[in-house]
Amino acid sequence: MTALQEAAPRDPRDPRDAAAPVSGRREALHFALRNGKLLAGAGVVLVLLLLGLIGPLTIDAPPNEYVGPPMQGPSPEYWFGTTTFGQDVFAQFVYGLRTTFAAGLLGGVVASLIGMVVGFLAGFRGGLLDEILNMLTNIVLVIPTLAVLLIINAYLGIRSVAAQAIFIGLTSWPWAARAIRAQTFSLRGRDFVDLARLSGSNTWKIITREIAPNMSSYLLLTFILLFGNSILIASSLDFIGLGPTEGVSLGLMLQNASQWSAMQLGMWWWFIPPGAGITAIVGALYVANVGLDEVFNPKLRET
Amino acid sequence: MRRYFGRKLLVYGLTFVVAVTVNWMIPRFMPGDPVAGMVARANVSQPAAVEAMKQYYTGLFGFDQPLWRQYLNFWGALLHGDFGISIWVFPTPVSDVIMGAVPYTLGLMIPSVLLSWVVGNRLGAYAARRKLMDNTVLPIGYVLTAMPYMWLAVLLAWGLGVVAGLFPIAGGYSFSMQPNWSAEFLLDLLHHWALPFASLFLVALGGWAIGMRNMIIYELESDYSTYLAALGAPHRLIRRYAFRNAVLPQITGLALQLGVLVAGALVTEIVFSYPGLGSLILKAIQNQDFFLLQGTFMFIVLGVLAANFIIDIVYVVVDPRTRAGMAGAQA
């Protein structure tokens, strides 16, 4: 997971972001529409997102309702079969997709925001603030995220997806902060930043008007990876039994399947869809990310 | 070099303090009263019994003392290796319960992490800039790295365990056996170890292969590679140099991935009911055994810190620049 982010080194002096905004945007769109990886990845994510948004509307009963005969394989009536208790696996899957996307999105947003604030401030201000923030980043980076979440979730008894996602966001920002700090550091000495500083802009204004727009592509890539990461962490927590106690998510489906011995009973339709769903979302996000990278970074484009 | 290790040790020391503080704070400052919660979970109806339990738990946590005193007591107990008494297997000390599980987790993690790192790097290095290999390694790598650990574990357990019947899918050894050093038992142990190992190995493999592939491509584009190629050096030599440079960020990556790898091992153990820390955590959660949960947390943090430090030492051995005090690894 995170190996991907760390492993793609970039030259901080790379002038690729410095193109004029209008032509740059048009050019990005031009390459985006011709990039197979981006289109395929985004396509898969969109299809699953739509399924998660629209699917639940077509199902009348709540996803955990005991609607059908127990332990049925896939059939025209129950597309993904039913659980030991006669719950409709397809209904759980579409509701679970919704929850999983929500957890990933919220966790990704929270982590990106913290990572951006810490990274921008540390990289732009430098000095003592940089030292302190850097130390903080390193500490949170070393602490195993899941272990902290275990303790927090166990004591709090997390009930909602939102609380779970926020805690994931609060613990998974460090590498993003590090990466953004390095990028900010390289932009700090550029002429246009000096010019803004000379004209009396304050730190906030320089960061939002001068620095952030010049690394917007990078920020987008960071957010996508944090999004996928949050989904994986959330599903692990759900699987251990520390997921939201109400509703259904793909991780909770896996947990239920494992808890009620679906594999010993040969009920493959119970545990394959949720895992395949998570893998498809996260994998598609990674692939789309690589595609986006190629769109924004001419050096990586295959011609 | 002293500065490098000094900084590292400072970060790890602070991390440890933060982890202990978090561990101490959460039961005390989270909304809700943990004592009332634990008493409520015990389902006792007699008022006298409720009162007695309340007093017992209050005394156990030392809630009747001032906060700073509680904090110091917490550290004192910790440094004596006293994590409290487990509720799940009352009255065994938590440290004993954890010690019984650690060998299984380490036996699973160390080989799978190291092997997947080595094989993944080789695979990625080999695939870089070779069309055919790249087109197979890359997609497989992405699928593997996007898989939740527990899902691959479930798939392997179902496919190779239940359907094919080749491997047992639960426990660290057969229930009919007692742990001993006979060859028969060791074989049985290995048999139970194979599937959890394979699933940990496979999920981690993808990430390393992709990372290495990208690094090698980056290195092959750098000036020294071009220069060597211009001199007419054989491709194999250039690739070897590229590999040696590309391995450095992968070592750092290993340190950064430790948390994810531990999390993966925990959920994999749960799938296979493997008697390591993961199953312990599950039991602790199911039985509301908070001492055990907190003890396991401290143990995982300590383990990750120790592993980080070992990787730092390896980095210094591998990268001579850190020894010369020049720029190398970031603190």
- Alpha-carbon distance A139 to nearest alpha carbon in chain B (angstroms): 5
Q: Are B84 and B93 in contact (CB under 8 A)?
A: yes
* CA-based max dimension of chain B: 89
Distance of CA A48 to the CA centre of its chain: 15
Cβ neighbours of B109 in A, within 8 Å? none
Rg (CA), chain B: 24
Nearest Cβ partner of A239 from B150, B262, B294?
B150
Looking at every residue in chain A, the average pLDDT score rounds to: 83
Res A11 pLDDT > 50: no
Rg (CA), chain A: 22
- Alpha-carbon distance A113 to nearest alpha carbon in chain B (angstroms): 21
The residue ranking higher by pLDDT, B52 or A40, is A40
3-class DSSP state of A299: helix
Res A3 pLDDT > 70: no
Nearest to B84 by CA among B97, B71, B72: B97
Nearest to A253 by CA among A45, A41, A98: A98
pLDDT at B105: 93
What structural domains does chain A harbor? 42-301 (1.10.3720.10)
- Alpha-carbon distance B301 to nearest alpha carbon in chain A (angstroms): 6
Q: What is the Cα–Cα distance from A112 to A292, expressed in whole angstroms?
A: 18
Looking at every residue in chain B, the average pLDDT score rounds to: 85
pLDDT at B73: 82
**pLDDT tens, residue by residue, A268-282:** 888 999 999 999 999
pLDDT at A61: 75
Contact yes or no for B15 and A3 at CB 8 A: no
pLDDT at B61: 66
Nearest Cβ partner of A138 from B11, B163, B250?
B11
**pLDDT tens, residue by residue, B207-234:** 999 999 988 988 888 899 999 999 999 9
Q: Residue B37's closest chain A neighbor by CA?
A: A155
Contact yes or no for A287 and B259 at CB 8 A: no
Contact yes or no for B148 and A143 at CB 8 A: no
Contact yes or no for A263 and B12 at CB 8 A: no
**pLDDT tens, residue by residue, A247-258:** 788 999 998 888
Contact yes or no for B259 and A138 at CB 8 A: no
Global pTM? Answer: 0.86
Contact yes or no for B15 and A139 at CB 8 A: yes
Nearest Cβ partner of B281 from A138, A139, A150?
A150
Question: B268, exposed or middle or buried, with CB in 10 Å at 0-12, 13-18, 19+?
Answer: buried
Contact yes or no for A257 and B154 at CB 8 A: yes
Q: Which long-range contacts (CB under 8 A, 24 or more apart) does A55-59 make?
A: A55/A93, A55/A94, A55/A95, A55/A97, A55/A98, A56/A91, A56/A94, A56/A95, A56/A98, A59/A88, A59/A90, A59/A91, A59/A94, A59/A95
Q: What is the Cα–Cα distance from B107 to B276, expressed in whole angstroms?
A: 9
Nearest Cβ partner of A286 from B146, B252, B285?
B146
Give the residue from B4, B151, B285 with the most A CB atoms within 10 Å of its CB, the best one to mutate: B151
**pLDDT tens, residue by residue, B14-57:** 999 988 888 888 777 766 566 666 676 666 677 777 777 777 77
Contact yes or no for B161 and A156 at CB 8 A: no
Cβ neighbours of B261 in A, within 8 Å? none
Give the residue from B15, B35, B41, B150 with the most A CB atoms within 10 Å of its CB, the best one to mutate: B150
Res B151 pLDDT > 90: yes
Give the residue from B23, B145, B293 with the most A CB atoms within 10 Å of its CB, the best one to mutate: B145
Give me A235's structure tokens.
């599903």
- Alpha-carbon distance A201 to nearest alpha carbon in chain B (angstroms): 32
Q: Residue B249's closest chain A neighbor by CA?
A: A7
Contact yes or no for B304 and A144 at CB 8 A: yes
Contact yes or no for B169 and A263 at CB 8 A: yes
Q: Are A217 and A17 in contact (CB under 8 A)?
A: yes
Give the residue from A146, A269, A272, A282 with the most B CB atoms within 10 Å of its CB, the best one to mutate: A146
**pLDDT tens, residue by residue, B99-122:** 989 999 999 999 999 999 999 999
